[in-house]
Amino acid sequence: MCLACRARDDVSALWRLAVVDGAVVVDRARRLPGRGAHVHPGCAETLAARRGVVGRALKVGIDPAQVAAALAAARRD
């Protein structure tokens, strides 16, 4: 399910977000261990604007600015 629009979709259509060393990363290969959250690439900007949503989903205290930066970097790839 996409964290931003709440639509269910195949994981191949979504980016997986994971936490590495206290920072959110976009896990393109979907291989990182631990809790993950998913978002449509097209919904990443919406999600970045919803401060705190990713941290709550991943059950970590994370800086919303760091999440936004990780999503912005992934969009540039």
Which residues would be at the binding site for Zn ion (CB under 5 A)?
Answer: 2, 4-5, 40, 43
Tokens representing residue 38 in the block: 């998913």
Nearer to Zn ion, 3 or 62 (CB): 3
Nearer to Zn ion, 18 or 38 (CB): 38
Number of other CB atoms surrounding residue 5 within 10 Å? 13
Go through 25-40 and write b for each residue having 16 or more CB atoms within 10 A of its CB, e for each that does not: bbbeeeebeeebbbbb
Residue 68: CB minimum distance to Zn ion, A: 16
Residue 44: CB minimum distance to Zn ion, A: 9
